[in-house]
Amino acid sequence: MRGKLILEDGSSYTGELLDGSAKTVGEVVFTTTMTGYQESLTDPSFCGQILTMTYPLIGNYGTAEKFMQSRRPFVRGFVIGELCDAPNNWQSEKSLIDFLTQSMVPCLYNVDTRAVTRHIRAAGSMKGVIVPDGTEPDEIAALQAEELPRDLVAMVT
């Protein structure tokens, strides 16, 4: 299913929504790491945020319990370029797709994450929403108006 990341300044980036992805809102941030996507997803410092990965291929080595940084992912969404659906690593216990689906992390993939990152760097921090194509404008506006969580430490401890 086609979806969009829409930033609060109106910028929009299209991609594909992972099956079962819910609509979500959060502060859009990015990381330029080449590895460690599972560690980033489960890092409590990303709580309440939509995490954008700039590295172009994500999911190629799967996920494993021993790489969890906390008990679960705390991100509100995940935006990536290419999503690998066939991990190949001796430590892999499940695919990133299964991990995201079971953790109920909304994921938008096949996105030009470099463009998202360059925009955020130039325009500054801002909220964004991940929605399916065809979402009504009033529903998008309601999501964008949502207050983001404030007591994040209490949420992650």
Provide the pLDDT for residue 148. Answer: 79
Which segments of the chain have a pLDDT < 50? none
Provide the pLDDT for residue 11. Answer: 98
One-letter amino acid for residue 97 of the chain: I
H or E element: which one contains 26? strand 24-31
Provide the pLDDT for residue 146. Answer: 87
Domains of the chain, each with CATH number or no CATH: 2-146 (3.50.30.20)
Contact 3, 15 (CB under 8 A): yes
Provide the pLDDT for residue 156. Answer: 66
Provide the pLDDT for residue 6. Answer: 98
pTM of the entire structure? Answer: 0.94
Provide the pLDDT for residue 147. Answer: 83
